[in-house]
A and B are shown apart, each in its own frame.
Chain A
């Protein structure tokens, strides 16, 4: 239990200001961005340096206090919703970019660095950190690694895990564990870095992260292809990939989303189109021009009504502003928004897009589908009002149906949002009973008292 003496100990470690005990403060750490029930923690602690972070972990362990690490709390699977009477450890006080090494192209950061700020700092040096989750303006790098966050550039550049070279973290006893290196190659020891990525705070508490950087692409070209039939758009996605061109981004928007965006932002989108593809190629200027031409040809051949290639940066920005406003536009239609991220092998995108339409019809729900078609990661977005119980039941059934469909196509429950508590009960469907048992054994071995973010991914 958290008593006065223990609060005092936390205060001794982090300073009085960085320990929150009043209920009104605790309530503001009971939720994240996922549509799940809030849980009131017992205490919130905000270490501002690495040493005190370790001591906080140790103190939690000694007192059997469940500990949930929280960055910006933008999580979409409930991974940062705490445990009743547990301790929330905030990382936003650990927000230093320790090093950006231009020569060897890596950076060392603390977990609380905001993703977009890091990307900007890196870009100022002509380097590139590609992972760009939708929440990047606020999300933290620690959270990105813990959730293995993705983004719009996943198709060509991969996701967060493709950029983590090494990690330093506290184990459940508050002892420092090191894994990986600042070198491109590293074969030393177990690949604990791999184990920690996507572990959602259940196996350790991140202290420092080494991230890989790449050169900033010299040239970019964006275009928008308009389709009168949904199937033609989704088949075009498959055709582009099949032609061995890998665009940096290849985004899809269905008619429902197009209309919502147009209503919201008057971007000049064709509201009568069945679907849009927003495509960008980047790299060496000559290659970019050639690829862009090929992509344009493929779109036309596959039956695009029109293809508009951005002539300059302003036009390019317009294309991406339209895509970026998709979530806002949909969010304004109904109070509750459930953003799913079931993902399929990209050749199955046409089937998946069709399945979303069928599911919307079957459960009589408004579902806007947009997202990263190029990497198979669509975001069917269900619009509802959680207060409407009858409709909410249909929403839950529809989510089940979406997962079943994705898994039947050899897909996955989550492309980039993580398992958390929202999807943990489906995990066995994708994997196997033995997988769950194996994972639980690892968790038990590494965290015998089960204090590190218990209940997440593999359940209780």
Chain B
């Protein structure tokens, strides 16, 4: 077994991080997956023990470890709650890369990641075709949530209620921007991200409108690529690097003071995963970019100093609730800022839901692979949203928006799912 020796050597490179886990098990209390299954292999402690087992070579089943390692939302709840400060996400992603290198990428993932995602032009074209033909295969189901479902039974879509692709992606509406700052004196790079571009162009537009309102100069280059999170979390470094290098060419750090995104996942990827996975050659460049990267809510509150205290609340305010995306709250510690933006709109009244920072169950490709569990976690979120009595839920992550829309729509709830930036923009137009 020379291969296993090689694998052991690679896993050993994670040893210093793996030994930090003292097996206390505190991760169990916050893991959304463990709550559903009660299985130790689903929680961080179990997965770390499995990787440790591979390392010790006491164990001859790398496939088994790989399968269990991949069954994870990568929400980072465990890391945020870990007494020993184990770098769980870094270990998991690096281990996924190592094990994928050993096991090979599955044909389906190869097709999606290398065949489509890695080629931004082709990805755009495919999405446009999709948008053109989607009405043939789908039909609208919930006007308030704005979701559709498949007309015919499809193994890929199952009974999901999803947001359709936008008729016109954002890069067709606004291919690029390069404006000078007004009195703010600040220039922001705008990283749009796939979901905003292809499904939620109106949110991307809202970002542009808000930045314009505050006289922030915008640098938004053409042909932006995906941030690479689907690739790296599938262990596909080849695609990840390709996307990363593409984006590095687009976003030269001397072009902007801050790089903003309205996607929690993109922000945390650029800020945390890019430096984590960077090779030596690009380390400095990536650090410059990631240091400047900021979630849009955070940017508006911390840099532009949007202050809700300035607003006198109106009578008969509309109740709204807010879901904390894991990538914002647990990775980037951004929780007060989106709430501040919502409060800045005097028409709304923020009503907190129970466990607003409990994962919605999306987890990117987790939703594709484990739709049943993903839905169970999502329905817990749905119940907490419904219990507030609010007719609007806001959240700062387009992936969470998709998941929450699916859950609400399937339960026939008449609740709109919106981004805090939309709520804030409304207040500016009053």
Contacts and interface: CB of A to CB of B under 8 A. Distances in A.
Given A90-B38, A92-B38, A328-B84, A28 B50 contact: yes
Contacts, number: 85
A238 interface: no
A29 interface: yes
A24 B64 contact: yes
Contacts of A135: 24-26
A116 interface: yes
Given A24-B61, A138-B28, A335-B20, A46 B38 contact: yes
Interface string A23-51: 11101111111000010000000100000
Interface residues of B, number: 28
B34 to A, nearest CB: 9
Interface stretch (B39-47, B245-253, B354-362, B377-385): B39-47
A39 to B, nearest CB: 11
Contact of A27 (B24, B50, B85): B50
A332 B23 contact: no
Interface of A: 20, 22-25, 27-33, 38, 46, 72-74, 90, 92-93, 114, 116, 135, 137-138, 327-328, 331-332, 335-337, 385-387
Nearest to B40: A28
27 contacts: A24-B41, A24-B61, A24-B67, A27-B50, A27-B53, A28-B39, A28-B40, A28-B41, A28-B45, A28-B50, A31-B49, A32-B23, A32-B25, A38-B49, A46-B38, A72-B28, A90-B38, A135-B26, A328-B84, A328-B85, A331-B22, A331-B24, A331-B85, A332-B83, A335-B20, A337-B22, A387-B19
Given A28-B41, A92-B38, A332-B85, A23 B49 contact: no
A25 B41 contact: yes
B85 A33 contact: no
Contacts of B68: 24-25
Contacts of A29: 40
Interface of B: 19-20, 22-26, 28-29, 38-41, 45-46, 49-50, 53, 59-61, 64-65, 67-68, 83-85
Contacts of B26: 135, 137-138
Nearest to B69: A24
B41 A331 contact: no
A72 B25 contact: yes
The 8 A-B residue pairs with the shortest CB-CB distance, nearest first, are A24-B64, A28-B46, A328-B83, A28-B40, A137-B29, A335-B19, A331-B84, A138-B28
B59 A27 contact: yes
B24, B50, B61 — which one has the most chain A CB atoms within 10 A of its CB?
A: B24
Nearest to B85: A332
B42 to A, nearest CB: 9
A138 B78 CA distance: 13
A328 B38 CA distance: 24
A385 B20 CA distance: 9
